Amino acid sequence: MTQELHDHLIEKNTSIISIGELSSQISNLLDLEELDAQLYLNLLRMGPVTASTLAKELNIDRTKAYRTIDKLLHLKIVSTTFSKPKLCIANKPEDVLKNILDIKQSQVEKIRNVKDYLITAIKESIPTNCKSSLPSFHITQGTDHIYSEVERLLENATSTVYIATTIKDLAKMYHTDIPEKIKICERNGGKVCLLTHLSDKNHLPFVKRFSATETRLGDLSSKGRMIVEKNSQMIMSD
């Protein structure tokens, strides 16, 4: 267990983290959908069961359960039996993490091996002009990729960055590199102003440990997140 997670548990005055909170952390760290993590954790808790039983437990339709199980089978997160009816079995956590780590390392190595070739091939084959003063936007999908964009924004920021988000999203951000990027932003001469809504005072120490330069508590107009670098760029998501 990491020190951050240990401290978080103490602040919540509990020795057991809920499946909902744990699934959020796992989905963020392992780049999975939250349903993937929920299904796996509940399968660990329940033991071998049919997909129909699992769908009923998670209150989702069977088609979605079957699709999720197929995905987790491919990632070696779950296994199935040869019996009829077929039973789903959660693989051991240590095996799951090793398999995912092996996949990620293989993907990174593959990109690293072709990076220079691809950059050279593109530059030689296609004349480009990337300079533009026109406003533009791009779409990023997946919580993990969005947090990577936030990390990049903070790391390169030299002015004020505003973060407006929910306490639930803040809890997920805390387990990324975002707190460390806030420190880098401050070393570069910038500052980070956080706005969040706090309905439970027990979460106040957790908000403070996020280490924003300034923190204000108040009502939020939506449950989405907004990160704005003054006079530069903005990240919005629901």
Angle between the N-to-C axes of helices 3-11 and 167-174, in degrees from 0 to 180, rounded to the nearest 10: 150
Domain assignment present for residue 3? The answer is no
State whether 156 and 218 are in the same domain: yes
Flag whether pLDDT at 94 surpasses 60: yes
**Domain check: are 120 and 23 in the same one?**
yes
Q: Is residue 136 part of a domain?
A: no
| Residue 132, pLDDT above cutoff 60 | no
The confidence band for 199, taking pLDDT boundaries of 50, 70 and 90, is: confident
Whole-angstrom Cα distance, residue 97 to residue 92? 9
Quick one: pLDDT at residue 77? 94
The CATH number that applies at residue 40 is 1.10.10.10
Number of structural domains found in the chain: 2
Asked whether the predicted pLDDT for residue 65 surpasses 70, the reply is yes
Which neighbouring-strand residues pair with 217? 196
In a domain, 224, yes or no: yes
| Same-domain pairing of 20 and 101 | yes
Residue 133 lies in a domain: no
Question: Is residue 114, in this structure, part of any structural domain at all?
Answer: yes
- Are 182 and 212 within 8 A, CB to CB? yes
Same structural domain for residues 70 and 40?
Answer: yes
Residues 230 and 177 placed together within one structural domain of the fold? yes
Q: Can you tell me the distance from the alpha carbon of 169 to that of 235, in angstroms, rounded to the nearest whole number? A: 14
13 closest CA partner among 196, 211, 200: 200
Say whether both 162 and 193 belong to one domain. Answer: yes
Judged against a pLDDT cut of 80, whether residue 15 lies above it is answered with no
Are 163 and 192 members of one domain? Answer: yes
Q: Are residues 111 and 158 in the same domain?
A: no
Q: Which residue among 126, 156, 175 closes a domain?
A: 126
Are 19 and 121 found together in one domain?
Answer: yes
| Residue ending a domain, choose from 62, 91, 126 | 126
Average pLDDT over residues 53-59: 93
- Name the pLDDT band for 122 (thresholds 50, 70, 90): confident
> Where in the sequence is the domain holding 166, given as residue range(s)?
143-237
Give the pLDDT confidence score for residue 14 in this predicted structure.
38
pLDDT band at 109 (very low <50, low <70, confident <90, very high): very high
Tell me whether residue 46 is in a domain.
Answer: yes
How many residues in total does the chain contain? 238
Q: Confirm whether 214 is domain-assigned.
A: yes
| Residues 22, 122 within the same domain | yes
Residue 12 phi, psi dihedral angles, 5° rounding: -90, 5
Whether residues 75 and 168 share a domain: the answer is no
What CATH number has the domain bearing residue 210?
3.30.870.10
Q: Among 28, 23, 16, which Cα is nearest to 150's?
A: 28
Tokens 């990390």 sit on residue: 151
The count of C-alpha atoms lying within 13 angstroms of the C-alpha of 229, restricted to the half-sphere facing its C-beta, is 18
Asked which of 126, 161, 183 is the last residue of a domain, the reply is 126
Whether 111 maps to a domain, the answer reads yes
One domain, residues 74 and 101 = yes
- Do the beta carbons of residue 27 and residue 36 sit within 8 Å? yes
